Amino acid sequence: MCKRFFKVIRKFAIGIVMFGFSLPAIAADSDWIMQPMSPDLNNTASLQRGANLYVNFCLGCHSLEHQRYERTADDLGAIPHELMEANVIHTGQKIGEHIQTSMSKDDAKAWFGAAPPDLTMVTRVRSPEWVYNFLLTFYEDSSRPFGVNNKVFPNVGMPHALLPLQGIQEEVCRGNRPIDLLDVQPALEQNRVESIKEGGPENCEELSLIPGSGTFSTEEYEQAAFDLANFLHYVGDPTRAEREALGKYVIGFLLILLVLAYFLNRNYWTDVKKN
């Protein structure tokens, strides 16, 4: 019985590890190589800076309709409600209301073609790393309606909200990629022999920042992108830090209980074997 119990525990642990390895594949939807980003929910200063960035650069279009101003103030270092109302809430809402954009859905559809999505759960649907890299990889593209494109989210239908901070990035292309053998047959069928001779499509996997086009240095902007992604990670699960802190004690209790259960089980079977 004891061996069977440990086999179940081992299978469960292996399943958790394999699921963890599969998460990056679930979140990926482009060929861009992601820069690593590990959120820190215990970094209150980062969360406060991220909240400030969100209110000033994102809230004009994207709401956080499942998060309240009051909860945010209480969680991010017990910010006084009066200070929160005076410096953060610019939409005329009350401290106890959900964080809503002042832009109506009708206006959003008229200006953008569709209402911008709510971002409360964006880091749970994608990942904090995805949001971080999304903020880093806007680049100039005159073929797009808003003049920019994105490496993580190709053909994104929005302007670069943090453009004044980051500045303008340009796509750098270096030669051609190796041709994919799966593309040879379609190319032959369409008489595109020259495209085969020249190789695959252009290799445009680099971005270059135009010096002086933004108010932040590269390091400052990367920190701002981290802070914003970190804040959205908190918004997606406000109780996570509290649960993780409590989880250490729960695991410790379960380990003690496991040891006691093991010796109790062995004692029971000792009596059974004697009889």
- Domain limits of the chain? 27-124+213-259
Q: Which fold has domain 27-124+213-259?
A: Cytochrome Bc1 Complex; Chain D, domain 2 (1.10.760)
pLDDT given for residue 73 in this prediction: 95
- For residue 109, the one-letter residue type is K
pLDDT given for residue 177 in this prediction: 55
The string over 217-231, giving b where at least 16 C-beta atoms fall within 10 Å of a residue's C-beta and e elsewhere, is eeeebbebbbbbbbb
pTM, whole model, 2 decimals? 0.75
pLDDT given for residue 270 in this prediction: 81
Q: What is the pLDDT of residues 54-65, one digit of tens each?
A: 999 999 999 999
> What are the backbone dihedrals phi and psi of residue 264, each rounded to the nearest 5 degrees, phi first?
-65, -40
Concatenate the DSSP letters of all residues of 172-183 into one string.
E--SBPPPPGGG
Q: What share of the chain is helix, strand, coil (3-state, %, to 5)?
A: 55, 10, 35
Cα separation of 225 and 179, whole Å? 35
Residues 6+ apart with CB under 8 A from 134: 150, 152, 153
**pLDDT above 90 covers what percent of the chain?**
57
Could you give the 3-state DSSP secondary structure of residue 101?
coil
pLDDT given for residue 174 in this prediction: 77
How high is the mean pLDDT in each 10-residue block of the chain (275 residues)? 54 50 48 92 96 95 95 93 88 90 86 89 96 98 95 94 97 69 53 47 83 96 98 95 89 94 88 71
